[in-house]
Structure 1
Amino acid sequence: MLAAIGLDEKHESAYRALVSVGAADLPDLARRLTLGEYDTELALRRLERHGLAAQSSARPGRWVAAPPGVALGALLTQQRHELEQAELAAALLAEEYRGAAGEPAVHDLVEVVIGTAAVAQRFLQLQLGATEEVCALVTGDPIAVSGMENDAEEQAVGRGVGFRVVVERAVLDMPHGITELTAALGRDEQVRVVAEVPTKLVVADRTLAMVPLTAHTAEPAALVVHASGLLELLCGLFESVWRTALPLRLGTDGVAEDGPEGPDGTDLEVLSLLLAGMTDVSVAKQLDLGLRTVQRRVKRLMELCGVTTRLQLGWHAYERGWVARDGSA
């Protein structure tokens, strides 16, 4: 929790341990932290440089914790000041850029990013810089970035950025596909599934987009597209795929509105994956169920709906609200 002021987990643990006892000798603190005395002393020296600990003048070798309210308050004030200065510098640079750029030249509307590290970094920047919404088309063959799992995505969601993601069916069969999609749905991201997406794509706030280059190059490469007719075309492509994709429902707890005799969370997961185009065998594998268990659950759902075919079951599932469906375009 104190990483923002420059302390890693080890140093934070050392400070917490010292705060809990007020003061301690080096060997005692080393035992509390289950660290060697050398590493413990290094951690204490780091805390000393931050003003969070000091050696006792009365008892050599004894370390005393600085009061958190005073010491941490000072560090946080310094961090706020530095952040304000950085924000001011960013605003001035942005103003200078706008003044110098004027009407951007055609070649400035598209950036070419080459190399795995560079593509991954630009992808993270798009998410970290988003303030409203990130839209993505995700394929089953990631190269530089997975499109599903990174800290930047969680940070963006934590800031209130919305996510709409369309994954192609192959993602469901990937080793960690269901786990990552379940985590995304748990963060209130909207996820839909289609048989195939036309291309990988990320759009941030409808002001920047990123698509891969398909040319035969030694390293992965991508285009970053700024505000232009091409960007509008890419936004339109995403919306078109989004409208035709099926909503995905995973990790639902409890029962549906039909009451205790209605489908439970696992039933709804099975149903959602089947409607996404997965086979009974694939569903059983992804949910760690037996094939017969999946088939029994499907049979029970059909009995609940009073239907005899899976096609009819899909229609009734939407009508009863068992499968997520919304009207957003």
Structure 2
Amino acid sequence: MLSAIGLNAVQETAYQELVAHGAADADTLASRFALPVRDVLLALQGLEQQGLVSRCGSRPGDWVCAPPAVALGPLLSQHRHELECAELAAAKLAAEYRPEADTPVVHDLLEVVTGASAVSQRFSQLQLGAEREVCFLILPEPLAVAAEENSAETLAMSRGVNYRVVIGREMLSGQHLQPAELADSLGRGMEVRVADEVPTKLVIADGSLGMLPLDARPAEPAALVVRSSGLLVSLAALFESVWRHALPLSLSGGDKAVMAQQPGPDSVDLQILSLLLAGLTDVSVAKELDLGARTVQRRIKRLMDVSGATSRLHLGWYASEYGWLTRRGS
């Protein structure tokens, strides 16, 4: 973790060892780490230059650590200041950036990335730059980055970025996605749902930057990066639509991924739908079925949540399109 303030692996290990066990000489530390004495000595000298360790006056050859609260504070402040300067520089560059006068504005909103290396880099940048949420639609074949190679996902989630992922049902077979990988993702807090059909690969970060594949030769993968625009709004709506109709996955007691069953309408729900479509009000439906008006409204709200409907008209269309009303009396 101390690499963030400029320490390499040997320096960090040496400092932690001195904090935990007190004074030691380079030979002793080298023996503990199974490293050449020269490497350990160089690490200690580097720590000395940063004020983290010093030579022990009473025991020549030994090194002691400076108190972490005292020694690390200035380094943290220095790197925090450097990061703030870098952020200001990035903001200034972003403000100064303008497309060429004869370049259409659309070029500032869309970017075509070509080649496995470039696609992989932009894919990682999109996730590492996210602050709140990353949304995925996933198909079996990776474009340039396999699921197990997506280290940016782990880093982003460690910062508290939420992941919502929809996978196709065929990926549960184990051929494309191993159960252990799926259980690990769920265990780290990722929200995963399963859809009968996923229309395209897609990733969207914070609703402001998206990426989806372009048709290209297998040897030359390509992707389209979409910034805030009407197109990105449409892609976000596509994700939300697929998400609403997908079934959630969760971990069972044995740390196995299990798919929840979305509760459909029962016989009372179907009666309510039929009466509503016949033109009755909520109050009339409640009297007809000897139910409370709030019970009717609560059931309608649940059916809208299940179907993803945004209005009662939409709910009526969904009930007809997906055969809910034909179940009545069956």
Q: Give the TM-score, by structure 2 length.
A: 0.69
Q: What amino acid does structure 2 have at the position aligned with 1:64?
A: V
Tell me if structure 1 keeps the 8 A contact 2:54–2:64.
Answer: yes
Letter in 1 for 2:96: E
Amino acid of the structure 2 residue aligned with 1:88 = L
Deviation at 1:75, TM superposition (A): 0.9
Distance of aligned partners of 1:187 and 1:19 in 2 relative to their CA distance in 1, 3 Å threshold: closer
Correspondence 1:227-306 to 2 at 5 A? 227-249=228-250, 251-253=251-253, 265=254, 269=257, 272=259
Separation (CA, whole Å) in 2 of partners of 1:326 and 1:43: 60
Distance 1:166 1:129, change over 3 A: same
Give me the whole-angstrom Cα distance separating, in 2, the residues matched to 1:9 and 1:328: 50
Identity %: 56
1:34-86 deviations in Å (ceiling 9; x for gaps): 33322322322332233222334665533232232222112111111111212
Aligned residue identity for 1:187: R
Contact 1:149 1:180 in 2 (8 A): no
Q: Structure 2: how far apart are the matches of 1:181 and 1:47?
A: 42
CA shift digits 1:214-273 (9 cap, x unpaired)? 122632211101122322222222222222222112x333xxxxxxxxxxx57x845x29
- Are 1:77 and 2:77 counterparts? yes
Equivalent-residue separation in structure 2 for 1:145 and 1:211 (angstroms): 13
Structure 2 counterpart of 1:178, one-letter code = P
- Farther-moved stretch of structure 1 (127-136 vs 43-52): 43-52
**Relative to 1, partners in 2 of residues 1:27 and 1:145: Cα closer, same or farther, differing over 3 Å?**
same
Q: TM-score with structure 1 length normalisation? A: 0.70
The one-letter code sitting in structure 1 at the alignment partner of 2:179 is: I
Which amino acid is the alignment partner of residue 245 of structure 1? A
1:224 aligns to what?
225
Residues 246, 55 of structure 1: CA spacing in aligned structure 2 closer, same or farther, 3 A cutoff?
Answer: same
For 1:317, the equivalent position in structure 2 comes to none
- Residues 148 and 181 of structure 1 are in contact (CA less than 8 Å); yes or no, is this contact kept in structure 2? no
Q: What letter matches 2:230 in structure 1?
A: G
Correspondence list, 1:188-207, <5 A: 188-207=189-208
Partner of 2:267: none
| Counterpart amino acid of residue 183 in structure 2 | T
* Residue 180 of structure 2: aligned partner: 179
SS, match of residue 130 in structure 1:
coil
Q: Distance in 1 between matches of 2:142 and 2:28?
A: 49
1:67 aligned residue: 67
Gapped regions of structure 1 (runs ≥ 5) = 254-264, 277-324
Q: Distance in 1 between matches of 2:62 and 2:307?
A: 66
Read off the aligned partner of 2:207 and give its amino acid letter: R
- Code of the aligned partner of 1:222: A
Counterpart in the other structure of 1:122: 122
Aligned mates of 1:187, 1:24 — CA distance in 2: 39
Change (3 A) 1:269 1:205: closer
Alignment coverage as a number of residue pairs: 265
Q: 1:174 to 1:6 in 2, by over 3 A?
A: farther
CA apart distance, 1:167? 0.8
Which structure: larger Rg? 2
SS at match of 1:152: helix
Match of 2:27 in 1: 27
Q: Residue 131 of structure 1 aligns to a residue in which SS?
A: coil
Tell me the residue number matched to 1:150.
150
Please state whether the residue corresponding to 2:24 is helix, strand or coil.
strand
CA contact (8 A) 1:17 1:33 kept: no
Unmatched segments (≥5 aa) in structure 2? 263-304, 310-330
SS of the residue aligned with 1:248? strand
Q: CA deviation at 1:326?
A: 7.2
Q: Distance in 1 between matches of 2:6 and 2:308?
A: 42
1:36 aligned partner: 36
Counterpart of 1:228, as a letter, is: S
Return the offset for 1:176.
Answer: 5.0
- SS of match in other structure, 1:136: strand
Query: How far off its partner does 1:200 sit?
Result: 1.0
Name the CA distance, whole Å, in 2 between partners of 1:90 and 1:77. 20
Q: Which moved more, 1:66-75 or 1:206-215?
A: 66-75
The alignment's C-alpha RMSD in Å is 3.1
- Shift in Å, 1:170: 3.4
**2:96 is matched with which residue?**
96
